[in-house]
Structure 1
Amino acid sequence: MSGIYAGQMAGDEHASSEAGPGAVVPSFSDLTALPDLSHDRARAGPVRERRPVYVDLLPPCNAGCPAGENIQAWLAHAAAGRHEQAWRQLVADNPLAAIHGRVCYHPCENVCNRGHLDSSVSIHSVERFLGDLACERGWRFEAPAPTGKRVLVVGAGPSGLSAAYHLARLGHQVEVRDAGAAPGGMMRYGIPSYRLPREVLDAELDRIAAMGVVFTCGHRVEDLAAERDEGDFDAVFVAVGAHLAKRVDIPVRDAATMVDAVSFLRDVASGESPAIGKHVAVYGGGNTAMDAARVARRLGAQDAVIVYRRTRVQMPAHEQEAEDAEREGVRINWLRTVNAFDGPELRVEVMELDESGYPRPTGRFETLAADTLIMALGQVTESAFMRTLPGVQFDGDGSVRVTESMMTGCPGVFAGGDMVPGERTVTVGVGHGKRAARNIDAWLRGDSGLRPAKHPTATFDALHLWYFGDAARRRQPELEPAARVENFREVVGGLTAEQATYEANRCLSCGNCFECDGCLGACPENAVIKLGMGHRYKFDYDKCTGCAVCFDQCPVHAIEMFPEPR
């Protein structure tokens, strides 16, 4: 008996005479009356009205990944040091881990719940570590049994490569045809090597080719209907990139040098060194404009200036791209439009925002020094080769209309990536390729291709943050700005194995049990049963009172309280 209760009983003046000589009986007349536990409404009692259930919610990082990666799952493997398992979990959705760890704009990190606590998990840096490790150790994809079906993929960019990979994993024979001299599309010819080294790109492509995917390069598809028939292909996926530069009428003197950014970047990627002079202007505000300006600096331009008609907030370029450009000495002139180019002078008009936030001309002009003007006003798709296909519909910009399954109006012909309306990034393209591959496989098998609905997303306010301590984000090493513009060396370095493991362990495991044993230790009725490592727990409802202590203890909202079935 505890000292507190012993003292109360010994000092009680109302001991019963019926208890025998020397006996002391406590009186509880000074305590609060016992509650009626037969009408439990919220917590516990003999009549349980709620029961705990283990649930799986969708982590916001998974929900925000355009490639559809199960980020939380591969982070868990990486956190435990199971690097090959982490990589294999990752490439179940995305075959280009080393590439994505470098060029993806990681929207997953923008929605990471950890960002509300201190800073988001550096998902892309762990992904890069795993991808680089796979290249270093020669990990390969497994080839399944063949189905006997043949699929043609047109375009060897991100979307086409993703589709080819997933189709091959499903057992189909795949041929990829591309007009370029080597596969990779915009990853090879549009993204500079200081962001994506070519040896990394080639290592990822070699792994896909080792699965039996056939690459036919230097082959421009002119008539898709004819090539499908001649090759006896059962289905087609079209993923030609948006390589045609948009045009705008600008008065230009004959001697002035004006090029489009797509051609400029392609020439440099192919090993050429265009003569651009000391002063270069880039017209546009997207990521391509930033790359063109940064490449110009590496080619010797003393001054590289970006001319953009809107404000910084309205600029479509990713914020990190613009910051990197400015750190490398690129100037950005906001609210300016090009009026005329008479090299070495560029005439621009000053703009002002009206009440609706739209830029309007002011009639005021400025003159900038420019030996070369690089046009980076966006690209359009090339889809004329699909005009002979019956049922295919096009939008005004040449993009192809597709259904939810990514099939065009022509049976068996699917399209994705830059070919269809939507955001044009490597990650979006890879996601399109995976989705198309699964739907092509379903169509070839005569299946609907419908996939189960996703779980609700685990929100930050549902987490119990007392469980988690502060853990600062690990930063990747970077070259100093002055050293960057001297060559095309990779600007951003990778994490060490120790750093990658630490960063992966910062994941909060939102909405999914990671076996912390909190519910097991907190349950007052021993109603939680541990099923063994990797198998989580189950509830013994014969013991459970519905007190919700386990719910309160779960740090990641992997337990939900549901009304008791009646």
Structure 2
Amino acid sequence: MSDPIAGADGRDFLPPACQTACPVGTDVPSYAAFVWEGRFDQAIEAITATNPFSAICGRVCDAPCECACRRGAADGAVAIRGLKRFVLDRLGASYRLPPVPVTRSETIGIVGAGPAGLTAAHDLACAGFRVDVYEATDRPGGMMVWGIPRFRLPEGVIAQDIDRLLAHCPGITLHANQALGRDFTLAELKSRHDAVLLAIGLSKGKPLGIPGDGLPGVVDGVSLLARVNRGERPQLPSSVVVVGGGDVAMDAARTARRMPGVESVRIVYRRTLDELPARGDEVKSALAEGIEFVCQVQPVAVAAEGEGGLTLHCVKTEPGEREGDGRRRPQPVPGSEHALSAGLVIAAVGQEAHNAELAGLRLLNGGRVTADASSLRTADPKVLAAGDGAFGGSSIVEAMHQGHKAAYTIGAMLDGCADPAPYRTPYRNRRVAVAQAPAWESTPRQEPAFCGLGADPSAFTQVDATFDEDTARREASRCFRCDAETGSANTSLRAREGVMAMAHTPAGDAAAQSMLLRRRLGAARPVPRQDVSATLDDLVFLPANLTRLVIDPYREQCGTAIHLGGAVALGTPFVVSGFDDAPENLRTALGRALAEAGSAYLGRQALGEAPWLQIVGADDTPEPAASLWIFTQTDRAAAAKGNGRPVGLLASADTLNDTIEAAVECAADLVLIDAAGASVDPRAELTHPPAINLLKDAVDHLLRRRRLGAIDLVFHGGVRTGSDGAKLIALAASAVALGVAAHIAAGTRLEDANPFADSAEPADASAAAVASLIRALTAEASMMARCCGKTKLHNLEPEDLRALSVPASVATGVPLPGRGVTGDVTATAGAPVVGNAGGIAAELRI
């Protein structure tokens, strides 16, 4: 195999955000690249290397990799799960790995054949152990078999993964219809095996916990899904209500919608639609299938109604105090009591483990197996626990992670290591070349065809189609390949590997000397700086993007024009500030020069012929001659906007969140971010670095309010070069203001009380110098964009950058090589939705 750390060409390959977000460390960039190249046999190897249930995950994984995909903030995350499904649908049925022999004398007993138990069995069998898996039902798979509807996960797909696993691991013996406490005891299991793993899952649905939840017409979602997955198609009442907002609620509702006799299905949830814990694509599919969402409503009791009917007594809710997870606790609204009628109520409010044997041994408490989360050990030194039954409901891929961890811990224990190093998810990279697709930048996310209920809903036909080859290759080409784009002469990861190698090499060995010499050469900054302020200098454009350059950076045109605030047409995003008090002759000359350069002036006073972005203070009067008013007071902005004028607001570090919120509320056209902190006074730029974090904070706030792109952001503070401007534009600024840089070009003396008193340059020469600076900076910014393959300067995105220091990464959200993304943004508050919500559900996760 190729070196997973660095290639012969010397480039570093670092784990990207998608890979580190995957609990089992799937090498996403490599398999996407293999799909693009048509090397599907190598793609399936990359997919299945750490994921024994790849075909299943190609359909029902919650895809945390897509939530972390850096293209998601642009035009949609890469459809990573769809690519996985394409490869497994194409090759999965025939793909086999050679059988691994049993080489160890010890045996392990595993209770539960779900994703955690079978993953642990797979890893232990691959390590040479003999493994016996005890499953209480008649087939392996756990909740993958019993909890996921067949329209999402057909039987054949489950069988494909399990057959492949068992063929690869002949050391695994499956014992079906063998339940702990019914067919054997834990003591008997311990006497047969050298170690025992409890992976019993959460097989029992929780009741609603309100009066009447034991009535005949109230069932739990887990039991209903298990019945239907066994092949039953029960006749249900015409009206069904599902209580809950998780994935089980979505599956139960969509399953009920397909049952004979059902005419309407409603999901009752106590928070807003935006706060649903279910995956966004499942919510969107439920809406498309005609399921109604009744949000901010909480049931308080169930009562019988007439012949077999039910009444669900409810209250409306409103957000209260924030809880530990950051969400606001729903509070009942006084006087909002009302009732919903239903023929069937399905409870989908949580699951729990149930086993009398473990409860009697005090290994089961509160519906969970009691175990330490870090070591997976129980009170019995020979017994470990993993999966949902021990640590609560999660996802298939998270359960697999715990299976990997359990196998690692059991293997170490049987090797005599009582305190092994913590398990670490492996991040392997196969060093595949970056896709050379000419349209990679402009290709939108490819979505599989949605089939919905189908002609015969009870037949449970698959709801989504698989990509065809052309679509899969187009989608694969969209990958930014963050693993290959380090943006610097990064040494951190390779230095660590070198240190480890040298530590295991005898002193004086030539290999150790060679490694040491390489570490001493060219490592300008081997450790990311953490003791300095965040600066634009610690952001760099990605050199690896040059491998996909689709235009000649020295010949092709790159657009730099912008329509600022929807009102001011400019040829450049660089505007000038700080000349309010300049002599009249300089103001006139500078205004003419800025107009000719396609720029504008930002300040309290007009500047000749230049378009004027007027800063309107508390005592200032908005001038009709201004192209756009930027108010320091939010109430004045709202009034001006009401009169049909384009307006903006000025925000500083102290007022940013309130200002952005006010801009959203009054539909402002622009927000000026004063990162220097002195109402756009260029002198402030000389005293301290600009607060570049304000731009990310503004973007995050606009993302949460779904207004990013609707309000232009202008950044003022510390901009010296075209590269500075290009970096800020990549971070979502629409324009940047030149203060100190423009004054230096004009020959003024900012350090003096009157900067313009002793100017050595005539007014026309000073104005020409500022205009030349703007043209030069615009050309430089354009070159940065062209070197990233852009044909427009404003097409630059955060994905085109890498950070070189921890402060810069934290301040901007741009990943630091070897460290990854430093934060994330999650969409929150939104209006409650009843009925078809259009595209809202698609935006539940940012």
| TM-score under structure 2 length normalisation | 0.52
Alignment-derived partner of residue 492 in structure 1: 464
Matched, 1:350 2:340: no
CA contact (8 A) 1:119 1:473 kept: yes
CA contact (8 A) 2:320 2:331 kept: no
Task: Give the 3-state SS of the residue equivalent to 1:137 in structure 2.
Answer: coil
Alignment-derived partner of residue 159 in structure 1: 116
Q: Trace 1:529-544 onto structure 2 (pairs within 5 A).
A: none
Q: How many residues align?
A: 477
Higher mean alpha-carbon deviation, 374-383 vs 130-139, is at 130-139
Task: Give the 3-state SS of the residue equivalent to 1:377 in structure 2.
Answer: coil
Task: Give the 3-state SS of the residue equivalent to 1:214 in structure 2.
Answer: strand
Matched, 1:215 2:177: no
Q: Partners in 2 of 1:454 and 1:560 — Cα distance? A: 25
* CA deviation profile, 1:466-523 (whole Å, cap 9, x unmatched): x973332222122045647353001011112333233223222213369x9x99xxxx
Supply the AA of the counterpart residue of 1:370.
A
Matched, 1:287 2:247: yes
Supply the AA of the counterpart residue of 1:446.
G
Matched, 1:428 2:398: yes
CA contact (8 A) 1:278 1:371 kept: yes
Q: Partners in 2 of 1:428 and 1:546 — Cα distance? A: 38
Q: Partners in 2 of 1:502 and 1:284 — Cα distance? A: 37
- Tell me the CA shift for residue 341 of structure 1: 2.7
| Identity, % of aligned positions | 31
Q: 1:508 to 1:254 in 2, by over 3 A?
A: closer
Alignment-derived partner of residue 146 in structure 2: 189
Aligned mate of 2:266, from 294, 297, 305: 305
Alignment RMSD, CA only?
Answer: 3.7
Supply the AA of the counterpart residue of 1:353.
E
Alignment-derived partner of residue 276 in structure 2: 315
Q: Partners in 2 of 1:167 and 1:444 — Cα distance? A: 11
CA contact (8 A) 2:453 2:461 kept: no
Q: Partners in 1 of 2:102 and 2:339 — Cα distance? A: 65
Q: Partners in 2 of 1:290 and 1:371 — Cα distance? A: 18
Q: Partners in 2 of 1:361 and 1:320 — Cα distance? A: 30
Q: 1:496 to 1:268 in 2, by over 3 A?
A: same
Task: Give the 3-state SS of the residue equivalent to 1:313 in structure 2.
Answer: helix
- Tell me the CA shift for residue 59 of structure 1: 0.5
Q: Trace 1:361-372 onto structure 2 (pairs within 5 A).
A: 361-372=333-344
CA contact (8 A) 1:309 1:359 kept: no
- Tell me the CA shift for residue 137 of structure 1: 2.4
Q: 1:373 to 1:66 in 2, by over 3 A?
A: same
* CA deviation profile, 1:28-60 (whole Å, cap 9, x unmatched): xxxxxxxxxxxxxxxxxxxxxxxx984342200
CA contact (8 A) 1:349 1:363 kept: no
* CA deviation profile, 1:55-99 (whole Å, cap 9, x unmatched): 342200011012332222333333332222222222221111110
* CA deviation profile, 1:427-483 (whole Å, cap 9, x unmatched): 111111112112212221224543697899xxxxxxxxxx97333222212204564
Aligned mate of 1:450, from 399, 421, 446: 421
Q: Partners in 2 of 1:490 and 1:288 — Cα distance? A: 18
Q: Partners in 1 of 2:467 and 2:57 — Cα distance? A: 15
Q: Partners in 2 of 1:379 and 1:342 — Cα distance? A: 25
CA contact (8 A) 1:53 1:560 kept: no
- Tell me the CA shift for residue 552 of structure 1: 6.3
Q: 1:173 to 1:388 in 2, by over 3 A?
A: farther
Q: 1:314 to 1:453 in 2, by over 3 A?
A: closer
* CA deviation profile, 1:116-154 (whole Å, cap 9, x unmatched): 343221110111122223333243354245222211111
Q: 1:221 to 1:115 in 2, by over 3 A?
A: same
Q: Trace 1:87-486 onto structure 2 (pairs within 5 A).
A: 87-210=44-167, 211-212=169-170, 213-222=172-181, 224-230=185-191, 232-252=192-212, 256-300=216-260, 301-338=262-299, 339-343=301-305, 344-356=309-321, 357=328, 358-387=330-359, 396-447=366-417, 449-450=420-421, 469-480=441-452, 483=455, 485=457
Supply the AA of the counterpart residue of 2:410.
I
Q: Partners in 1 of 2:453 and 2:50 — Cα distance? A: 35
Supply the AA of the counterpart residue of 2:476.
A
* CA deviation profile, 1:293-322 (whole Å, cap 9, x unmatched): 111111130011122222223322222222
Alignment-derived partner of residue 544 in structure 2: 554
Aligned mate of 2:15, from 58, 72, 81: 58
Q: Partners in 1 of 2:426 and 2:10 — Cα distance? A: 15
Q: Partners in 2 of 1:552 and 1:477 — Cα distance? A: 35
Q: 1:412 to 1:62 in 2, by over 3 A?
A: farther
Supply the AA of the counterpart residue of 1:168.
A
Task: Give the 3-state SS of the residue equivalent to 2:117 in structure 1.
Answer: helix
- Tell me the CA shift for residue 252 of structure 1: 4.1
CA contact (8 A) 2:93 2:160 kept: no
Q: 1:353 to 1:64 in 2, by over 3 A?
A: same
Q: 1:366 to 1:132 in 2, by over 3 A?
A: same
Q: Partners in 2 of 1:489 and 1:504 — Cα distance? A: 27
Task: Give the 3-state SS of the residue equivalent to 2:77 in structure 1.
Answer: coil
Task: Give the 3-state SS of the residue equivalent to 1:367 in structure 2.
Answer: strand
Task: Give the 3-state SS of the residue equivalent to 1:156 in structure 2.
Answer: coil
* CA deviation profile, 1:523-543 (whole Å, cap 9, x unmatched): xxxxxxxxxxxxxxx9x989x
- Tell me the CA shift for residue 225 of structure 1: 2.9
CA contact (8 A) 1:244 1:379 kept: yes
- Tell me the CA shift for residue 253 of structure 1: 10
Supply the AA of the counterpart residue of 1:97.
S
Q: Trace 1:67-106 onto structure 2 (pairs within 5 A).
A: 67-106=24-63
CA contact (8 A) 1:157 1:187 kept: yes
Q: Partners in 2 of 1:454 and 1:248 — Cα distance? A: 37
Q: 1:250 to 1:551 in 2, by over 3 A?
A: closer
Supply the AA of the counterpart residue of 2:357.
F
Bigger RCO (CA 8 Å, 6+ sep): 1
Task: Give the 3-state SS of the residue equivalent to 2:334 in structure 1.
Answer: strand
- Tell me the CA shift for residue 200 of structure 1: 0.7
Structure 2 unmatched ranges of 5 or more: 1-8, 322-327, 428-437, 491-514, 526-539, 546-799, 806-846
- Tell me the CA shift for residue 545 of structure 1: 8.1
Supply the AA of the counterpart residue of 1:450.
A
Task: Give the 3-state SS of the residue equivalent to 1:420 in structure 2.
Answer: helix
Task: Give the 3-state SS of the residue equivalent to 1:364 in structure 2.
Answer: coil
CA contact (8 A) 2:69 2:77 kept: yes
Structure 1 unmatched ranges of 5 or more: 1-51, 457-466, 520-537, 562-566
Supply the AA of the counterpart residue of 2:34.
H
Higher mean alpha-carbon deviation, 355-364 vs 365-374, is at 355-364
Q: Partners in 1 of 2:340 and 2:524 — Cα distance? A: 72
Q: 1:299 to 1:409 in 2, by over 3 A?
A: same
Task: Give the 3-state SS of the residue equivalent to 1:492 in structure 2.
Answer: coil
Q: Partners in 2 of 1:363 and 1:225 — Cα distance? A: 53
Q: 1:316 to 1:560 in 2, by over 3 A?
A: closer
- Tell me the CA shift for residue 156 of structure 1: 1.0
- Tell me the CA shift for residue 249 of structure 1: 4.5
Q: Partners in 2 of 1:367 and 1:559 — Cα distance? A: 55
Higher mean alpha-carbon deviation, 217-226 vs 133-142, is at 133-142
Q: 1:253 to 1:106 in 2, by over 3 A?
A: closer
